[in-house]
Chain A
Amino acid sequence: MAKMELPEYNLIQLFERAKEDPSWEEDPVMRNILAESFLFLLQFAF
């Protein structure tokens, strides 16, 4: 694959922002996903 121009923002900050989204305050499933499993899945972190 040819090298691509990537946007400059840092994804880690974007993930942190999602964790702090007030929409999940009452949503333990989403909080757990954001805290643990989803990034692991994206990273293929075996």
Chain B
Amino acid sequence: MNRYDINRKNFYEATSLREPEKVPVGVNMYGWAFHYAGVTYRDIVDDPVAVAREYDKFFQDVEVDCAQMVGLPWSVRTWKALGSNIYDFGADGNCVNHIQVNDQYLDEGIYDEIIADANGFINNTGLKRMYPIFQQPKEQAYASYIEALKEYKNYSTGSAMISASLREKGIFSITDDLAFMYCTSFLKFFDLYRGIVNSMVDLRRRKAKVYEACKAIDALKEQSLMFAPDALPKENMIGYTVYHPEGGFFNARQYDDLYFNIIKETYLPYLENGVKLYIYGEGAHMYTLDRFRQLPKGSIILHLDSDDPFQVSEKIGDWITLSCGITLDLLAGGTKEQCVDYVKKCFDMLAPGGGFIFAPNKTMCSSKDAKIENVIAVYETANELSRKH
């Protein structure tokens, strides 16, 4: 069996609550990889070969088994070509910032528009409102669109080279086995159309309309599912959620109405057919953990962000897999010894019996997210311990 197949097998063993031969050691990393390589992403962004080569250096030096959130930061150049200035490089030149004060949010009338014609809004009028190039006359819009595509091609080429290189090294990426992707449809309002503040106010002032608009978007998502739950192309596959409002902005009822009940109604058949739902859990989850007992045992992989993994394990560790093991707080501000001690505690407490994969709690984006010496020590320790369980 080659290294990729071994890593993939260990991943599904661990997440099926069985002890794997090696606990998967995972990574979440965007722009920090360039800091590690000693370059600045902004300086090489137009050269996809250099981008891929420099990003790869961390993976040449450090043993990694699985990739959770990896690749290039958001494509600043593409967004600029679309006429939008909501993304830009941070001061370090490696992190890409979402500059929310530059967002131009849409008015509350969009709920009615989406309820009337969700497809038309998402594919036509919504895009015209979001991206300034599509507010131009047709021929100018077309020319600008082609320019944006060319910028994206540059970004996409670098991304593809990185993916291929990780695969060559035998690193299993959870998106290799993607069966579906589902985040709450409210995310469109929360992150894109209305912004966090407006959309959360909308949930109080015009709840019925928000819910109806989310339902209309959910219906489109259901229509575009790649596979039927009983016709999956692989024996093991992964559904994917990134928590945004789900991880602490929703109250318990909103969490059920706008996320969890949809998982049960639409996606449970996939979980019953062996798909595992990987949740990149940004935020806090303690108040929703008990819900997972309504889903098949061993079907959930919860990546922890701000919750205490030991408390989470006590509450639900017998039922789901936890992805955790080190925090960026420690990697950035702790000593090497503190980092290593924390990793050891995670392996001691969470690895026995399976249901644990190692990963940093947040994606390493900016240069100051982690000290290089701490990261090296942490991965050496994690790889050593991962073979002992």
Contact = CB atoms under 8 A, between A and B. Distances in A.
Contact of B153 (A33, A41, A45): A33
Interface string A1-32: 11110110111101101100100000001101
B157 A18 contact: no
B104 A11 contact: no
Contacts of A6: 125, 128-129, 135
A24 B343 CA distance: 49
A7 B137 contact: yes
A37 B156 contact: yes
Nearest to A43: B122
Contacts of B261: none
B142 A11 contact: no
Given A1-B104, A3-B107, A12 B153 contact: no
A46 B127 contact: no
Interface residues of A, number: 29
A42 B157 CA distance: 18
Contacts of B107: 1-3
B202 interface: no
A45 to B, nearest CB: 8
Contacts of B104: 1
Contact of B152 (A4, A14, A38, A44): A38
Nearest to A8: B138
A43 B125 CA distance: 11
A25 B183 CA distance: 35
A12 B127 CA distance: 10
Secondary structure type dominating chain B contacts: helix
B129 A30 contact: no
- Give the size category of B's interface with A: 35 or more
Contacts of B153: 29-30, 33
B142 A3 contact: no
Interface stretch (B8-16, B34-42, B94-102, B185-193): B185-193
A42 to B, nearest CB: 6
Contacts of A34: 149
B160 interface: yes
Given A18-B146, A29-B157, A42-B131, A11 B123 contact: yes
Given A11-B134, A33-B153, A33-B156, A44 B191 contact: yes
B138 to A, nearest CB: 4
Contacts of B138: 7, 9, 14
Nearest to B134: A11
B125 A14 contact: no
B124 interface: yes
B257 to A, nearest CB: 18
B136 interface: yes
A27 to B, nearest CB: 8
22 contacts: A1-B105, A2-B107, A4-B135, A9-B138, A11-B128, A17-B142, A18-B145, A18-B146, A18-B149, A29-B153, A32-B156, A33-B152, A33-B156, A34-B149, A37-B156, A39-B123, A41-B78, A42-B130, A44-B187, A44-B188, A46-B183, A46-B187
Interface of B: 78, 82, 104-107, 109, 122-131, 134-138, 141-142, 145-146, 149, 152-153, 156-157, 160, 181-183, 187-188, 191-192, 242
